């Protein structure tokens, strides 16, 4: 079967930079799904994405759809013919619906019965007839939250469409896509080459755009070109560029023909906290900042121009003029904010609503303080520092700097607290209590900050659940999933041994009568256990390992983590499979046979009728003494490794001993022995949940 490359290009006005990459990937995925559904095979796929275009080059696309054969099933043979072999009305009706005589029908016999069938052969269509609808379907499925119309057209897209290219090899597929007639002309850079570029064939697309059109259409290649130019420009400027990958992606989405330009600003601005200057440069102007060998901010920046100007000095000077008022604003805010202490701003938090039913940010700070003091008592930290940091942790939200640069909340609080000579632990905690801010972010390292980070997120979780607004589907306006995972990470990775159930109860009490939902603490705990499941799934922990530990419901996430690690280590031991199977067998026996039966508190060796019972009892007694101190210090790995020695006596017991004998005293004694055996393992996890 013949094949040819397929080129699809949608030419638009400037696409949203932050959405460009996702739009391109989704366009590829939905197009390939359509081709697969149509039975059109193909080779490698190249995605092109630039500010004014989305394009795909699909190699070796089959130019003809393969013939298809479908089987229509009619009535069962028993109902298709009467006793004399004549066709029934059902058979005749089926033949008529197929447009054939009864003799042209076939018979099919399977293990489920026999039927009349008709084979329908559908000749494949040319790919050029199928492709337009496939492309239109893919475009309709793109993740565009708000589509727009333009001119007097009914078509909708993320931005107005100006041209469309659809080539199969050298053949133009004529159709209309998003209100535009397809052609074989693309357009180059808006300034360098605004004229049309004729495409004789699909393969010529990217080379012609680059050589004639001054457009690097390949997103990945353009991104690496931007990165290389930034690094080289920084080297020449005598510094090191700090490349934020998200900013690099965004800038790549804004340019077609990137050129790095180094600018500078007045060194006097370096008196302002570096984070504020970086925010002004990065978030407002999309600049990359430079640092020296000590990591200190330099009074220079790198911008990426979308033009190869003959006078780059004009470009540089224009960017320097634009950034100066931004930095001047930051310097002004820094000076003004320091005229009022954080403590003086706390009272004004009473006027800032946290949530209508849950009070103000001041109320939230009071609750955070209460939770922090409780946590401090459990962890042996300074109560006064915890309370002080909790009451100040939201005060910087009312500063001019954070009002202009919201991403600096907490960071500026640390600067202002240090300026006011607050204890260093308090200043660090004000910044750290927001951590982790996003997936993969670093955790709070300062102990007071760890406590505040947990208290702040627990307060939010309990409050929002307590008024009946938990996350639903993909909607999570209060970021409760992120908050729950942040708490779990802080407790586990920060090695804070805290009873989460107790903490949740304290948080519920701190709200007084504000909460409307019963069992709030239990609901939040269950929700957090589901987030813990996701946490361990991401770490590659087997689901049944998690379930084995969850069955014991350890209230401390740190303790939970120690048990998970123990079960993972245990599963690598030679005895693991046998003992897991034995635990499952014991669980089944006790569930079925011991229901409603009061088992003896201990076993009576006088009732043992076999050596295997005696040997298992003695081994358990010996190991119970050895593992007791291990369990006491939560060394579950060592405890399970020790209990693995029970494999041989357990196997011999089940090989030789019948548990459910007629003598009730002997039977119950054996059940009690198994119950004690199972209890040894349950100190760590329910191994009966392990699947082979």
Q: What are residue 679's DSSP bridge partners?
A: none
By DSSP bridging, strand 45-50 and strand 68-76 are unpaired
Place of tokens 């490698």: 44
Confidence of residue 593 (pLDDT cuts 50, 70, 90): low
Judged against a pLDDT cut of 90, whether residue 601 lies above it is answered with no
595 vs 589, more confident: 589
- Domain assignment present for residue 553? The answer is no
Q: Which tokens in the block code for residue 64?
A: 């003809």
Question: Binning pLDDT at 50, 70 and 90, where does residue 259 land?
Answer: very high
Question: Residue for token digits 């300026």?
Answer: 419
Res. 97: pLDDT tops 90: no
- 679: in domain: yes
Residue 65 near residue 39, CB atoms below 8 Å:
yes
Last residue of a domain, one of 517, 540, 563: 540
Query: Considering only CA atoms, which of 329, 326, 324, 472 is closest in space to residue 400?
Result: 329
Asked whether residue 362 falls in the same domain as residue 407, the answer is: yes
Nearest to residue 507, comparing CAs of 489, 538, 484? 484
Residues 356 and 380 in one domain: yes
- Comparing CA positions, the residue from 322, 313, 327, 316 lying closest to residue 266 is 327
Phi first, then psi: what are they for 602, rounded to 5°? -135, 180
Residue 71 CB neighbours (<10 A): 11
- CA–CA dist 542, 549 (Å, integer): 11
The token pair at 485 is 């995972």
What the block records as the tokens of 323 is 């950034």
Say which CATH number the domain at 177 has. 3.30.70.260
Whether residues 625 and 576 share a domain: the answer is yes
pLDDT number for residue 562: 96
Q: How confident is the model at residue 154 (pLDDT cuts 50, 70, 90)?
A: confident
Q: What is the mean pLDDT of residues 383-407?
A: 96
- CATH number assigned to the domain comprising residue 469: 1.10.3210
Which two tokens mark 548?
């084995």
Phi, psi of 213 (to 5 degrees): -90, -5
Q: What rounded mean pLDDT belongs to the chain?
A: 93
Widest CA span of the chain, in angstroms?
Answer: 107
Token pair for 13: 């006005």
| Selected residue with higher pLDDT from 67 and 172 | 172
- Contact between 368 and 452 (Cβ < 8 Å): yes
pLDDT value at position 48? 98
Q: How far apart are alpha carbons 84 and 509 in whole angstroms?
A: 85
Task: Give the residue-averaged pLDDT of 632-636.
Answer: 94
What is the rounded average pLDDT of the residues 391-403?
97
Neighbours of 326 (CB within 10 A): 21
pLDDT (average), residues 181-194: 95
Q: Based on the domain organization, do 59 and 162 belong to the same domain?
A: yes
Q: What is the DSSP letter of 282?
A: I
pLDDT exceeds cutoff 80 at 594: no
Percent share of the chain, pLDDT over 90: 77
**Is the bond into 512 cis (omega within 30 degrees of 0)?**
no
What is the domain extent for residue 183? 3-64+126-211
Same domain, 108 and 44: no
pLDDT, tens digit (0-9, with 9 covering 90-100), for 304-350: 999 988 888 999 999 999 999 999 999 999 999 999 999 999 999 99
On whether both 363 and 381 belong to a single domain, the answer is yes
Q: What is the phi/psi pair of residue 195, to 5°?
A: -75, 165
pTM, whole model, 2 decimals?
A: 0.82
Task: Flag whether 345 is in a domain.
Answer: no
Whole-Å CA distances, 83 to 19, 63, 86, 108, 163: 69, 51, 7, 19, 68
In a domain, 347, yes or no: no
At 103, is the pLDDT very low, low, confident or very high (cuts 50, 70, 90)?
A: confident
pLDDT, tens digit, 9 for 90 and up, residues 73-90? 888 887 888 877 788 888
Q: Is the pLDDT of residue 575 over 80?
A: yes
Average pLDDT over residues 51-73: 90
More confident residue, 255 or 589: 255
Give the total residue count for the chain: 692
> Among 80, 100, 122, which residue terminates a domain?
122
Please name which of 219, 254, 261, 214 lies closest in space to residue 237, comparing C-alpha atoms. 261
Rounded to whole angstroms, the Cα distance separating 26 from 29 reads 5
Rounded CA-CA distance 236/229 in Å is 11
**CB neighbours of residue 32 within 10 Å:** 17
Q: How far apart are CA 577 and CA 593, in angstroms?
A: 24
The pLDDT value given to residue 258: 96
> Does a structural domain hold residue 550?
no
Give 403's contacts (C-beta < 8 A, 6+ positions apart): none
**Model confidence at 597, in pLDDT bands (50, 70, 90)?**
low
| Tokens 């003809």 sit on residue | 64
Sign of the torsion formed by the C-alpha atoms of 175, 176, 181 and 186: negative
Tokens at 199, concatenated:
């495409």
Q: Is 433 inside a domain boundary?
A: yes
62, β-bridge pairs = 3
Tell me the mean pLDDT in the region 165-171: 96
Q: How many CB atoms lie within 10 A of CB 429?
A: 32
Q: What is the pLDDT of residue 131?
A: 96
Answer whether residue 342 is part of any domain: no
Tens of pLDDT, residues 278-311: 999 999 899 999 999 999 999 999 999 999 888 8
Domain check: are 182 and 230 in the same one? no
Distance of alpha carbon 567 from alpha carbon 503, whole angstroms: 26
- Region 387-394: mean pLDDT is 97
Query: Please, are residues 598 and 590 in contact by the beta-carbon 8 Å criterion?
Result: no
Q: What angle do CA 105, 107, 108 make, to 5 degrees?
A: 135
Query: What integer is the mean pLDDT of 427-456?
Result: 95
H or E, element range at 185: strand 185-187
Phi, psi of 207 (to 5 degrees): -60, -40
Q: Is the peptide bond before 436 cis (omega within 30 degrees of 0)?
A: yes
What's the structural domain count of the chain?
A: 5
Instruction: Check residue 61 and give its pLDDT.
Output: 95
For residues 231 and 332, state if they share a domain: yes
Residues 332 and 384 in one domain: no
Nearest to 450 by CA among 481, 484, 425: 425
Indicate the pLDDT class of residue 419, thresholds 50, 70 and 90.
Answer: very high
Q: Are residues 664 and 616 in the same domain?
A: yes
Dihedral angle sign, alpha carbons of residues 240, 244, 247, 249: positive
Q: What is the DSSP string of 323-378?
A: HHHHHHHHHHHHHHHTTS-HHHHHGGGGGSEEETTTEEHHHHHHHHHHHHHHHHHH
- The runs of H, that is alpha helices, within 511-600 are 520-538, 543-550, 557-570, 576-593
Q: Is the pLDDT score of 530 beyond 80? A: yes
Residue with the two structure tokens 């849950």: 358
pLDDT for the residue 460: 97
- For strand 259-264 and strand 288-291, is the pairing parallel, antiparallel, or unpaired? unpaired
Alpha helices in 347-469 (DSSP H): 361-379, 383-392, 400-404, 411-419, 424-432, 447-466
Kind and range of the H or E element at 82? none
Give me the CATH number covering residue 674.
Answer: 1.10.730
Q: Residue 392: helix, strand or coil by DSSP?
A: helix
Tokens representing residue 309 in the block: 């100007």
The per-residue pLDDT for 607 is: 86
| Sign of the four-CA dihedral 357, 359, 365, 367 | negative
Query: Measuring CA to CA, which residue among 115, 124, 72 is closest to residue 96?
Result: 72
Residue ending a domain, choose from 307, 337, 367: 337
> pLDDT category, 429, cuts 50, 70, 90?
very high
On whether both 642 and 526 belong to a single domain, the answer is no
Q: Are 331 and 364 part of one and the same domain?
A: no
Cβ neighbours, 10 Å, residue 442: 10
Give the three-state DSSP class for 231.
Answer: helix
Q: Is residue 240 part of a domain?
A: yes
**At residue 454, does pLDDT exceed 70?**
yes
The reported pLDDT for the residue numbered 596 is 63
* Out of 262-271, 375-384, 626-635, 666-675, least confident range: 666-675
* pLDDT, mean of residues 215-242: 97
């Amino acid at each position: 079967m013949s094949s040819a490359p397929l080129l699809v290009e949608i030419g638009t006005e400037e696409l949203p930079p932050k959405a460009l990459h996702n739009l391109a990937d989704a366009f590829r995925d939905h197009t390939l799904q359509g081709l697969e559904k149509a039975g059109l095979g193909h080779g490698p796929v190249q995605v092109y994405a630039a500010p004014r275009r989305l394009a795909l080059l699909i190699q070796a696309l089959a130019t003809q759809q393969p013939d298809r054969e479908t089987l229509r099933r009619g009535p069962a043979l028993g109902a298709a013919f009467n006793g004399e072999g004549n066709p029934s009305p059902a058979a005749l009706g089926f033949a008529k619906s197929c447009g054939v005589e009864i003799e042209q029908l076939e018979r099919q016999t399977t293990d489920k019965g026999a039927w009349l069938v008709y084979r329908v052969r559908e000749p494949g269509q040319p790919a050029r007839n199928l492709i337009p609808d496939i492309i239109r379907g893919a475009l309709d499925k793109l993740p565009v939250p708000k589509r727009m119309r333009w001119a007097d057209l009914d078509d909708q897209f993320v931005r107005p469409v100006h041209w469309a290219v659809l080539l199969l090899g050298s053949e133009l597929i004529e159709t209309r896509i998003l209100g535009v007639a397809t052609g074989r002309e693309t357009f180059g850079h808006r300034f360098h080459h605004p004229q049309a570029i004729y495409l004789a064939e699909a393969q010529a697309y990217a080379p012609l755009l680059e050589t004639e059109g001054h457009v690097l259409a390949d997103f990945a290649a353009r991104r690496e070109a931007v990165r290389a130019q930034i690094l080289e420009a920084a080297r020449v400027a005598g510094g090191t560029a700090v490349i934020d990958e998200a900013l690099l992606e965004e800038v790549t989405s804004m340019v077609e023909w990137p050129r790095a330009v180094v600018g500078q600003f007045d060194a006097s601005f370096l008196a302002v906290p570096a984070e504020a200057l970086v925010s002004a440069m990065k978030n407002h102007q999309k600049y990359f900042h430079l640092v020296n060998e000590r990591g200190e901010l330099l009074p220079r920046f790198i911008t990426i121009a979308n033009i190869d100007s003959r006078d780059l000095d004009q470009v540089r000077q224009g960017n320097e003029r634009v950034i100066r008022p931004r930095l001047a604003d930051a310097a002004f805010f820094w000076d003004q904010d320091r005229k009022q202490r954080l403590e003086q701003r706390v009272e004004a938090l009473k006027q800032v609503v946290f949530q209508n039913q849950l009070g103000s940010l001041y109320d939230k700070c009071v609750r955070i303080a209460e939770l922090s003091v409780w946590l401090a008592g459990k962890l042996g930290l300074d109560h006064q520092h915890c309370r002080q940091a909790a009451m100040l942790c939201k005060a910087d939200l009312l500063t001019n700097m954070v009002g202009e640069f919201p991403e600096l909340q907490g960071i500026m609080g640390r600067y202002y607290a240090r300026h006011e000579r607050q204890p260093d632990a308090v200043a660090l905690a004000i910044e750290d209590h927001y951590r982790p801010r996003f997936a993969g972010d670093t955790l709070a390292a300062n102990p007071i900050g760890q406590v505040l980070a947990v208290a702040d997120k627990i307060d939010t979780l309990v409050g929002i659940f307590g008024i009946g607004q938990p996350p639903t589907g993909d909607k999570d306006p209060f970021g409760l999933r992120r908050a729950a995972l942040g708490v779990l990470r802080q407790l586990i990775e920060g090695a804070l041994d805290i009873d989460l159930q107790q903490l949740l109860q304290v948080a519920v009490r701190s709200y007084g009568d504000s909460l409307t939902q019963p069992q709030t603490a239990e609901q939040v705990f269950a929700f957090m256990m589901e987030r813990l499941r996701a946490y361990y799934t991401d770490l590659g922990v087997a689901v049944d390992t998690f379930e084995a530990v969850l069955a014991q419901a350890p209230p401390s996430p740190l303790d939970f983590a120690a048990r998970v690690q123990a079960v993972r280590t245990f599963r690598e031991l030679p005895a693991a499979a046998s003992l897991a199977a034995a635990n499952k067998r014991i669980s089944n026996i006790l569930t079925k046979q011991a229901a409603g039966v009061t088992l003896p508190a201990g076993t009576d060796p006088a009732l043992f009728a076999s050596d295997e019972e005696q040997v298992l009892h003695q081994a358990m007694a010996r190991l119970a003494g050895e593992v007791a101190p291990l369990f006491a210090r939560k060394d579950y790995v060592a405890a399970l490794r020790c209990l693995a020695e029970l494999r041989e006596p357990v196997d011999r017991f089940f090989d030789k001993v019948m548990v459910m004998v007629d003598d009730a005293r002997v039977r119950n004694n054996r059940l009690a022995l198994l119950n004690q055996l199972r209890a040894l393992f349950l100190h760590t996890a329910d191994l009966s949940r392990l699947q082979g």
